[in-house]
Structure 1
Amino acid sequence: MLIADQFFKLNPVDIFGQEGNYQQKLKGSAERDERNDSGVESISCRERRIQRLIQLKKEESYATFSNMEKRDDLDNLFLKYPRKTMCVLNAGYASIGGVDGEQLEAVFKPFKNFERVVTLHGKPYSFVVFRGGEDAVVARNALHEKPCTLFNGKTLFLEYINHIDFAEIANKHLYQRTGNAKVTLDESVGFYYIPNFITLEEHKAMIESILADDERKRASVQSADKRWFKIQERFVKHYGNSFDYHLKHIGSKSLVASEKFPSWILPFIERAAEKVPSFNGKVNQLTIQKYPVGSGISFHTDSHTSFEDTVLVISLLTPVAMDFRHPATRAIITKDLEPCSLVVMQGEARYGWEHAIRIRRSDLIAGEARERQERWSMTMRTLNESMTCHCNYPGLCDNNSQVVRRLREERKAAKSEPN
C-alpha cells in the first residue's frame, strides 16, 4: 500500500500531534523541568539542546536554499503574510533521507483545499500549493518548526512565497539547462499574432450574431439561466463545453449556452487552420467574454489538463494591451491586441507563459495613454480528453493537483460501471 493511501484519512492532529504532546515526551526524561527562584518554569538542558539543534537545522536549510538558488534576499523572498504557495525548505529529492512527492502529499492531504506538491529533481526543498492563503496558513501553523511523525519526527520548515517567485524557481531549470538567456514571444515559441484576421464587415456580422443569439436566449424560458455568467468583473458565455472557474477545470454541460458551436464561427476556425499550419482545425470549446471598461483578468495559464496544445483568441470591438509573463526569467512582454486580430498560443507560449489584462481604465501605448472601452473576445480550445500533461513547466502545470486526480478517478470509475 502506498504511503499516501495509508495516511489519506488521518486528521492533521493524528499525523503531527499537538505541541503539548511533544513537550510532554521531553518532560518524561530524567532531566525534568524545575522552577527557578522566581517561580518561573525553566527548560531542561535536554530541551535546550533540542532547541539549538532545531535552530542549527533551520539555519542550514535556509543557507542551502540561498546558495542553490543564488538568493541572498530571503527576507524579501519569504513572506510574513499568508500566500497560497509555501516552500518546504528541508524536504525534497536531494535531501539526506529524502522524500518524494507522494510522501509529501501524505503530509498535506489532510488539510482543506490542498492542491499539489511540486518537487524539483536534485533539490533538497519542495513547494506545496493550496487554493488560497487562508488554507495554507492552517497547514503552516500545524507544521512549521514542529515534528512530523510521518517523517520519523523530523521538524519541517515552511515559508510563504509569491506565485511568481515559486514559478520562476520551478521553471527556470529549462533555461539553465539549455543556456538560452534570450526571451522572445513569437512563432519560434508558438505565439502567433495575426492582425486583420477578420474583415470589418465580418467583425460587424459577428457582433450582430452574438447579440441576436442573446435575444433568442431571452425569449426562451428554459435558456434564461444559460446566457452570461459574471466572473469577477467580466462576463462569460460557453458553447460546446463549459469551464468551471471555481473548480478550475471543465465544467458541467448545464453551464453551456448550447452544446453546439454557433454556425457563424465555423468558417473562422477553418481560416485559422489555414493561417497556422500547426493547428489542426479542431476545437470543441468556445468562450465569449465581455470586458467592461476598467475590467481585466489576472495572470494565468489556461489549465494544462483541461485543454490541448492550441488556444485561439479573436479580439472584438476595441483594442487592449495584454501582458505576457515568462516566470522562468520574469520577463514581461506586452502585445497590443487590435479588434479583428487573432492570437494563437501553442507549445511554450501556451504552457510556459502566463497572460493577463491589467485592471485599469487606460493603456500606455507608444508613450501615450489610450482610454479603454468595452472589449469582447472569443477563446477557442480543444478538451484534453486524457486530463494529463507532461510538460516542462511544473510551476504552471496542474497535472498533479488533487482536483485533477479526483476528476481522473471519477472518470475512470464511471467508465468501469456497467451500462
Structure 2
Amino acid sequence: MDLDKDKVHRKVKRKQAQYLKQEPKTDIGFQEEPSVHLFIGNGGLKNGVPREVLEHMLNPLQSEGYLKQLYLPSGKDYAFVTFTSTIIASQCLVSLNGVCIVEVCRSNESLLQSLPPALLHGPPVHLYMSYVNKIPSSILGCGVPKRTECSQVPPGLILLEDFVSIQEEDQLLKFFSFESETKQTLQPNRTTHGIVSANDEPQQTAIVVKRTEGGCSPPKATLKHRQVMHFGYEFLYGSNLVDPNNPLPGRLPAITHPLLDRMMEQGLITHHPDQLTVNRYNPGAGIPSHVDTHSVFQGPIISLSLGSQVVMEFKHPTDGKKVPLLLPPRSLLVMNGEARYLWGHGIPARTCDEVFLELLGYWETPSKIGPQASNVLPRSTRTSLTFRKIRPQPSICTCDYPLQCDSQNSSV
C-alpha cells in the first residue's frame, strides 16, 4: 500500500540525508523547484530493482520522447533519471512518490515475474523521489563500459552462448530430473581426505531409486541448497576427488554423446570426458571458490548451464583479483590452462546478480541505456552439467601452476 503525504515527505528527507552521507563529495543539490532531473531513493540495483521494472514505472506507456536517460549506479540503492521536460518529471514525481514497487507491478505479470524473490516476498520497498539540479558528475564521468573491459577473463577460458538449443535444453532437463517416487535416506559418508566447506556440507544423502540407461541408478545426494547426481565416477565432496578404481556401472548417458561429439568437432576437447556431475541449484544457492583437483582430473573442465543464468566469479590466488562472468542459459563454459589450473571459480550465494547490460546484448545502443549501464537478473532454478576426464593412475600432474597443484605442492 502507498503512504500518506506527510510520511512520504519525511521519508524523502531521510533518503536525501542518507545519500549525502553516502556521497559526501557529490556535486548535486536537492531542490523544491521542478527540474527534468529526479533522484529516486530505493530505486537502485542494490535493492534488486530490475532496470525494465523501473523504466516501466517511469514511462508506463513506453512513449517516445518521454524518458531521456536512466542512471543506475552499480551497487547503489538509488537511481537518477532525466526526462525531456519538467512537466513530465513533475507528473512522474507526483504519481510515483511513496508507491510500493511490488504493488505497481501486480497488474503486469511479466514485470512481477522479473522481480527477485527478496523484493517480491520481503518487506515492501517504496520509492522516494526528489528534484535535483543535475545528474552527479561522478556518474556522468564513468561512461559506458567497453566490451574489452568486461571481457578480461582468465587465460584459457572460453564461453560459448547457445551451445544447445531450447529443445535440447528441455530434453536434458527432463532426462536429468531429480524427481522420484522412492527415496532412501542414508547418513552422509565422511572422508579423511579433506574438509567439506560449510556451504557444501552434506545434509542427509538421498539415494534416489530411479532406473536410467542400462538399468543403472546414478548416485544422488542432497547438499545444502542443491542436489547432485554422478555418472562415470562418483565425485567425493569430502575430498574433491574420485576413486579411479571404483567406476560406476555404465558410462555417461547417451543423451550427452551428441554434445561431446560437438565439443570434439569444435576443437574444445581432444578426448571424451568420462565423469559427469549434474548439479541442480535452488535460487540463491552458491558454491565456494575452488580449483578442481589436479591429480585426479586432466584437461579442461567443462560446464553446461541449463534453466537459469548465473554469474560465476573467478579469483586469482595471489593478487586476489576477481572477475565476474555471466553464464547465460544453454551456454558452455570451457576452463583450460591458467583458468583451469590456477584461478579459483565459484558462485556467490545470492538470489540475483548485477550485470552490465553490455553482456545482455545491449552494446549496439549504449546511448539508450546510459552510463554505468547495469541491471539486476533474478536467479531461478539452474542445472549444470560438469564434464571431467579422469587422469590415468598412477600418473601425476606436471602442470605449470604448482601453487594450486596437489601433485607438486603438499600444502594444497
TM-score when normalising by structure 2: 0.48
| TM-score under structure 1 length normalisation | 0.47
Higher helix share: 1
